[in-house]
A and B are shown apart, each in its own frame.
Chain A
Amino acid sequence: MLKNLCQKMFGRSLWVYHANSGGCNGCDIEVLNVLTPYYDVERFGIKLVGSPRHADVMLCQGPAMHSTARALKRAYDAMPAPKLVFAIGSCACGGGIWFDSYPVLGPVERVVPVNYYIPGCPPRPEAIIYGVAVAVGLVDKKTAPIQLKQLVLPIPRYHPNELCGSGEMVVYERAEKV
């Protein structure tokens, strides 16, 4: 349904705005790479713009940080509707390796609503193009979400006080498709 909606609303060229809210730069460069001759997304009508007020899509890179959350929210609010948000890279999708560190708020979805996730550290330029192409309906999705019937996280968090030193095996509940 989202796909149909997207095709209807973003039928022509997409203008994207990229916001790095505190990541390492890796995803940024890959996004830049996507705009340059080898990958060249301008053939799909995708163009990078400098202001959120001109943009249809916001590309978020890096985890949401306490210090940038407000600015990120403001940039999102400045975009005219309809708008889409892509979380690019592991940090934006799930917080990355610093998801629970003291200055980090977590994935960007804590601050702005995210429509599409493109994971990877950093995602390859092909992956970014593919993600955007799926979103605007140029290609079909190759995967579908499944829900796992699993109530708790079976892996102990790696904290010195919580380390499992007994050698006991942690048994996973069998994953089932629902």
Chain B
Amino acid sequence: MVARDRLEQLRGKFGSAIQRVDLPGDSRLFVFVEPSVVKNICQYIFRDLDARYVISIGIDDRPFSGNFMVAHNFAFDEDHLLCSVLTYLPSNNPKIDSISDVVPAANWAEREMRDLVGIEPVGHRYLKRLVLPDGWPEGEHPLRKDFSWDHVPKEFNDEREFTFDEPPEGCTVVPFGPFHPTLDEPAHFRLYVEGEMVRGCEYRGFMAHRGIEKMAESVLGYNDIPMLAERICGICGCVHSVAYVQAVESAVALKPPPRAEYIRTIMLEIERLHSHLLWVGLACHIVGFDTLFMQSFRIREPIMWIAEKISGNRKTYALCVIGGVRWDITPVLKSELRQVLDKLEAEWREVVAAVSKDKNIQKRTVGVGLTNRDLVKNAGLVGPVARAAGVDIDCRRDHPYAAYDRVEFDVITAGGGDVWSRLLVRMSEVFESIRIIRQCLERMDDGPLQSPVDGELPVGRMGLSSVEAPRGESHHFVITGENNRPRRWRVRAPTYQNLQAVPMMIKDQQIADMTISLGSIDPCFSCTDRLETIDLRSGATRVWSQRELLELARAKEVRR
């Protein structure tokens, strides 16, 4: 009944401005409000009701309702409630009051909305291009429905350079990236350095923006998208595919069978194991402790093999379909998985003992990359970064999905807020993951793997899903649509929020600590940049003859 209580609070304060409310269950709340009160209502939810900011979404809804839409999503972690504040904007004047001065974490989301959908956040203090490549002409917004996913505007200018801000007085600029030895992915930082100390930085990223959301909205079907979602990120791919599938399932009220939920849980935890082991290895590599880098990769390898035995692939599991899973965990695999876990646990204890007593690692990480509760709240930090600062949030417990409500585990927190605490949190989470998998293996009953889906999925429903990725909360928002694909799909990867806080974390620190501070959030630029594009162009389907097709294909060849 918490959702109703929250709704009553909102009604009491903004009664007349609330146009419509959808309350699909006790854990989801959609409130449609007038554009003029959006800022106030967000401020009330974020500050007075103390909700956690999740993401803002711009939606081109013109083909359906004739308007643009904006959604601001919030999470009430203690109430197990995800809430979305939606508003319609007129199609000829898509402008909305920026909420970034009351909710600082909305900074990037609003800039992205402006880049991709062309909705202008009025009052935003720093409206610089965020997502699109430098040479992209102004006024072309890829996520609008009248924009084709494979269209590159004629005015696109390959030569144009990004204009960076002026560095502060007395600072030298040190460029960092896009191809840097400690960065696995392209991203560019310009560090403003005074002597050895970093005084600030400017980030130019989104170089791995691949137009994924747009492709999902325009070319793929519901059951193809989990595969695409998996390729948002090579490390936490399964998280995205589960989150997408759950968002669709929650939109159309479909429940996967219990066995499928257990299998999803097991695969998610296997993924967390391999990701945390990888991260600890890389973090040690960054601070120069290469022995441990090698060790943790050696310990990690059997996890990859067992994942391959279950799903057929080491990374991209192709696990989910709408309403269930594809792969089963047979009794043989079960006993093998148990053995792998036993060995892993014993070996990991040794690693943890080695790392926690190592003075060198402590010297490099204690007091480095500091965050505190205020920063966590204002920048919307999630996952181990938030937990290491003493903020007790974990989607597995707060917004239970799959089989997490049927297993017991502890949420690990630490108080330091520095890189060292993050290291401790991640190392301990490995043991919790092992515990969860063991419980799942025990409690898993026989049963079907997929729920039947009858006919077309209903159109125009909204779904939210939060899944705890190894790096933090991965949040997906889906509006179902025609032609067997969603109308809008928005992915909010954990790094999207965590990365925004990196300039604050590295400020007034030694430049040599920059890499480990950045590494400590376990950045995943591909997730962040994913891109966002899903739009559904609903065109009339035409029937083509083979001759026409051949001609078309020829024309394409020539054009290439």
Contact = CB atoms under 8 A, between A and B. Distances in A.
Q: Tell me, yes or no, whether A binds B.
A: yes
Contact of B231 (A121, A163, A164, A166): A121
B135 A66 contact: yes
A166 B543 contact: yes
A67 B553 contact: no
B5 interface: no
Among A19, A24, A28, A159: residue with most chain B CB under 10 A? A24
Interface in B488-519: none
Contacts of B142: 102-103
Contacts of A21: 186, 207
B544 A166 contact: yes
B150 A100 contact: yes
Contacts of B208: 22-24, 62, 65
Interface string A1-34: 0000000000000000001111111111110110
A153 B560 CA distance: 12
Counting chain B residues whose Cβ lies within 8 A of the other chain, the interface size class is: 35 or more
B218 interface: yes
B178 interface: yes
A160 B483 contact: yes
Contacts of B181: 50-51
Contacts of B543: 164-166
A82 interface: no
A156 interface: yes
Given A25-B234, A29-B234, A98 B207 contact: no
Contacts of A165: 541-544
Contacts, number: 189
Given A38-B298, A67-B209, A122-B234, A153 B553 contact: yes
Given A22-B208, A103-B133, A28 B234 contact: yes
Nearest to B530: A24
Given A103-B210, A165-B541, A166-B544, A29 B235 contact: yes
Contacts of B206: 67
B537 A160 contact: yes
Given A29-B235, A66-B158, A97 B549 contact: no
Interface string B438-455: 000000000000000000
Interface in B534-554: 537-539, 541-546, 549-550, 552-554
Nearest to A33: B297
B214 A101 contact: yes
Interface in B209-254: 209-212, 214-215, 218-219, 228, 231-235, 237
B234 A27 contact: yes
B210 A69 contact: no
Given A21-B186, A24-B232, A102-B150, 10 more contacts: A22-B186, A30-B315, A38-B297, A63-B210, A101-B149, A103-B211, A160-B537, A162-B552, A164-B546, A165-B541
Interface of A: 19-30, 32-33, 36-38, 50-52, 62-63, 65-72, 75, 96-98, 100-104, 121-122, 124, 152-154, 156-166, 168, 170
